[in-house]
Chains A and B, each alone.
Chain A
Amino acid sequence: MSDHAHPTPVAHQFDDREQQTEVGRLGMWLFLATEILFFGGLFTAYLVMRWKWPEAFAVANSKMDVTLGAINTAVLLTSSLTMALGVRAAQLGRGKGSFALIIATMVFGLAFLGIKAVEYARKFQEGLFPGPGFVFEGATGRQVETFFSLYFMMTGLHALHMVVGIGILTVIAAMIRRGRFSPDYYAPVEISGLYWHFVDIIWIFLFPLLYLIHPHL
């Protein structure tokens, strides 16, 4: 976008730009594979506990704010759209458009985190945060607490990934402004996009599991 673009040189260990791009892409896919296993431990724990305590988990599900969750899902899906468009703009060498779309992605990401913070605050007020302050009347109180400990770990880990993603996009946006990318070289934008979509997909699994399984089993 600036007149004096400074295209990033090929790193010394690579023969050419193409190799560097392929390496980055494969590296990110592998990293995402590790992430699936990382979240996988929590998903496994959730499934085992849900299998063991279906009633308690159904009761706990009914405490979830489906509206806020649905809004957040829409927000996050939109952010993935702007991200995909941002990558496309970078590929076409449209610096300004790409910059605006990345910023929009970050704004949607921040909106998601804001709504998540509101939800967390409400859960704290209702005494649903696991630990000594947890209040729940009923015989299955401890298992409801287990649901919420899984809820906070899973969504918390997801939110942490969002924060990291916004950090990455900040760097990408700065690089776009400095004119580091061109139709020949936009791999960092593309690779960051992979990460962003991945975090989005994790949410696509979290939302139904934590919010949508209906209490009237």
Chain B
Amino acid sequence: MSHETAVEGTNYLNNGYSLRSWFLTTDHKRIAILYLFTIVLFFFVGGSFAVLMRLELMSPQGTLVQAETYNKLFTMHGIVMIFFFLIPSIPAVLGNFLIPMMVGARDLAFPRLNLLSWYVFVAGASVTLFALVTGGLDTGWTFYTPFSTSYSNTRVVPAMVGIFITGFSSILTGLNFIVTVHKMRAPGLTWFRLPLFVWSLYATSLVMVLATPVLAITVAMVAFERATGIGIFNPAIGGDPLLFQHLFWFYSHPAVYIMILPAMGVVSEVIATFSRKEVFGYRFVAAASLAIAVYGFLVWGHHMFVSGQSVYAGLVFSILSYLVAIPSAVKVFNWTATLYKGQIWFQTPLLYAFGFIGLFTIGGLTGLFLAAMAVDVHLTDTYFIVAHFHYIMVGGAVMGFMAGIHYWWPKITGRLYPEGWAKFSALVLFVGFNLTFFPQFLLGYLGMPRRYYHYPPEFQVLNVLSTAGASILGVGYLIPLIYLLWSLKRGKVAGANPWGATTLEWQTASPPITQNFPTTPVVTSGSYEFPALEEVHSE
């Protein structure tokens, strides 16, 4: 601290250039960058599997790949996108970068565990990739037994080992966030002054910490059963395949909230900043995050309505699933109410946030169709399901990620992205997304099952539309990749607070110094108290 004046002009990015200074860093901001590179890589790997699938589905007869290859493609697309992109996307990149800054701390509570989590992630990802390139996996990302344990001829055991390892990176991240939010807040920063992004990630972390261990032990049992031929999940020798489904969805349903809650946090920040208003019903939005996390643990059985689980269990799960709509709707209505009479500034992050609200609402409402047992019987395992969860995961989570990356890009890099290109690509993404996935609702309603490499000819028009949309979507993802990299050198210098935002991370330099703040900030008000607009313009 004594040489504070001497470090003027240095920041976390130019504070050391060696490989060692990156790969052995404990700075949460550098670890966030490590994660960013890793998950973007996986996003394009997972995306390339989707490209092959959509090309295959251009024609009813299936001309590009064989049935076995197609099974591997949708499995690998699901595994890579869920475990290696969506789950770590906002938490491990933006959460890592922002949570310590938003609570006014110098770092997370456990900086070395944070670095360890990245290495664990890379190790787990490497093992899984090893399984995928040395024979692949054809079980679907759900690994249903007894197919995965007894019948699949693909690389189940190494894939399970990879998923098992990766889970611990998620647990470590969640644990770190929870402890940081509890114990590292700056003086004056009470719980109800925290930014809503922090609330969202706190709720997300609870899910990560409590659900992921169950997935870990479940995939360990699958691997053990496959290796030794024992019968916990194998009905032929007295095991129970439903037990697997219960254990799997006990994690994998809450995992949906690991993906969507952080995106909701981003949207809350973006909407407050670009409408220059305190988030309407702040406490309700905060509590809704926790409510979603709690309900999320109680609805897993809606994935199993046709599995043979008891109809009474199904009824309860159905009702509980409807309840999730309440806190979700609280958020959507409160965001809308925040925009009302706000000073709206149409910058790219807000466009993405609008995209999120619209697409998440469609994804959420179709989720209510599926939570109704009778409708679900008709729609289970059709393209309706595929469309529904892509509206949540891509329309929701990825749009949220894009909103967050654009919103905090000036903070992370110190440079502005090119606004015109960014708005254009946000539009391209929105159009491409809807063209890809809306036809799939229709396909599913008409009865086209998911996970088939060919289909009756009458479905071709909608499938070709979907593939055309996917091409537009692909372009929409490539444009940001190019202009964001371009902006690293050529972008306009952003300054500390280009959006006039009020949360703590904007009150320090861009890019921030390694210690985040020259001195620990003292908080005297809530997160969203915007000064009158005239004051900003006079500055």
B196 within 8 A of A: no
Give me the interface of B with A, judged by CB distance under 8 Å: 100, 105-111, 171, 175, 178-179, 182-184, 209-214, 216-218, 220-221, 224-225, 228-232, 237-240, 243, 246-247, 520
List the B side residues contacting A143 at CB < 8 Å.
Answer: 231, 237-238
Interface residues of A in 112-138 (CB under 8 A from B): 130-132
Contact: A49 with B224, CB < 8 Å? no
- Beyond contacts A31-B175, A131-B228: 12 other A-B pairs, Cβ-Cβ < 8 A, are A13-B107, A23-B110, A26-B178, A27-B179, A30-B209, A34-B175, A34-B210, A38-B214, A40-B217, A44-B246, A56-B238, A145-B230
Which of B218, B225, B228 counts the most A-chain CB atoms under 10 A from its CB?
B228
Contacts of A39 in B (CB 8 A): 217
Q: State which residues 46-105 of A face B: CB under 8 Å.
A: 48-49, 52-53, 56
In the assembly, what is the distance between CA of A103 and CA of B288, in Å? 49
With both chains docked as a complex, state the minimum distance between the C-beta of B171 and any C-beta of chain A, in angstroms: 5
CB pair A13–B108 under 8 Å, yes or no, is: yes
Most buried by A among B108, B179, B237, B520: B179
Shortest distance from the beta carbon of B483 to any chain A beta carbon, whole Å: 35
What CA separation (Å) do A153 and B230 show in the bound complex? 12
Minimum CB–CB distance from A73 to chain B (whole Å) comes to: 24
22 A-B residue pairs with CB within 8 Å: A12-B107, A13-B107, A13-B111, A13-B184, A23-B109, A23-B179, A27-B179, A34-B175, A37-B210, A40-B213, A41-B216, A48-B243, A49-B232, A130-B229, A131-B229, A143-B231, A143-B238, A145-B230, A146-B231, A149-B232, A150-B232, A153-B220
A38–B250 Cα distance when bound, in Å, is 12
Chain A interfacial residues counted at CB < 8 A: 37
Residues on B with C-beta less than 8 A from A52 are 238, 240
Instruction: Report the minimal beta-carbon distance from B250 to chain A, rounded to whole angstroms.
Output: 8
Assess A149 versus B217: contact at CB under 8 Å? Given A23-B183, A48-B243, A142-B238: no
Chain A residues lying within 8 Å of B107, measured Cβ to Cβ, are 12-13
Residue of B nearest to A47 (CB): B243
Most buried by B among A39, A42, A150: A42
Binary contact track A142-172/B, C-beta < 8 Å → 1, others 0: 1101100110010000000000000000000
The residue on A at minimum CB distance from B208 is A34
Chain A residues with Cβ under 8 A from B182's Cβ?
26
Residues of B within 8 A of A184 (CB): none
- B108 near A41 (CB under 8 angstroms)? no
Contact of A132 among B183, B216, B218, B229 (CB under 8 A): B229
A12-B106, A45-B243, A143-B238 given as contacts; is B232 within 8 A of A38 (CB)?
A: no
Determine which of A13, A41, A53 lies in contact with B221 in the assembled complex, contact meaning CB atoms within 8 Å. Answer: A41
- Point out the residues of chain B lying under 8 angstroms from A146, CB to CB: 230-232, 237-239
Partner of B238, one of A34, A53, A150: A53
For B111, the chain A residues whose CB sits under 8 A away are 11, 13
Interface residues of chain A, those whose CB is within 8 Å of chain B, are 11-13, 15, 19, 22-23, 26-27, 30-31, 33-35, 37-42, 44-45, 48-49, 52-53, 56, 130-132, 142-143, 145-146, 149-150, 153
CA separation between A212 and B210, bound complex, in Å?
30
- Residue from A27, A34, A53, A143 with most neighbouring chain B CB atoms (10 Å): A34
Q: Is the CB of A30 within 8 A of B178?
A: yes
Chain A residue at minimal CB-CB distance from B211: A37
Residues of B within 8 A of A149 (CB): 224-225, 228, 230-232
In the complex the two chains form, is A26's CB within 8 Å of B179's CB?
yes
Say how far A37's CB is from chain B's closest CB, in angstroms.
Answer: 4
Nearest CB on A from B223, distance (A): 11
A45 touches B232 (CB 8 A): yes
Residues of B within 8 Å of A150, CB to CB, are: 232
Whether A42 and B217, one on each chain, are in contact in the complex, defined by CB atoms closer than 8 angstroms, is: yes
- Give the CA-CA distance A19 to B221 in the complex, in Å: 39
* Contacting pair B175 A30 (CB below 8 A): yes
How far apart are B263's CB and chain A's nearest CB, in angstroms?
Answer: 24
Contacts of B211 in A (CB 8 A): 37
For A13, give the chain B residue with the smallest CB separation. Answer: B107
Which of B110, B213, B246, B520 contacts A35 (CB under 8 A)? B213
A31 to B239, CA, bound (A): 31
A18 to chain B, nearest CB (A): 10
Cα of A150 to Cα of B232 in the assembled complex, Å: 8
Find chain B residues with CB under 8 A from A22 CB. Answer: 183
Taking the nearest CB of chain A, how far is it from the CB of B308, in angstroms? 14
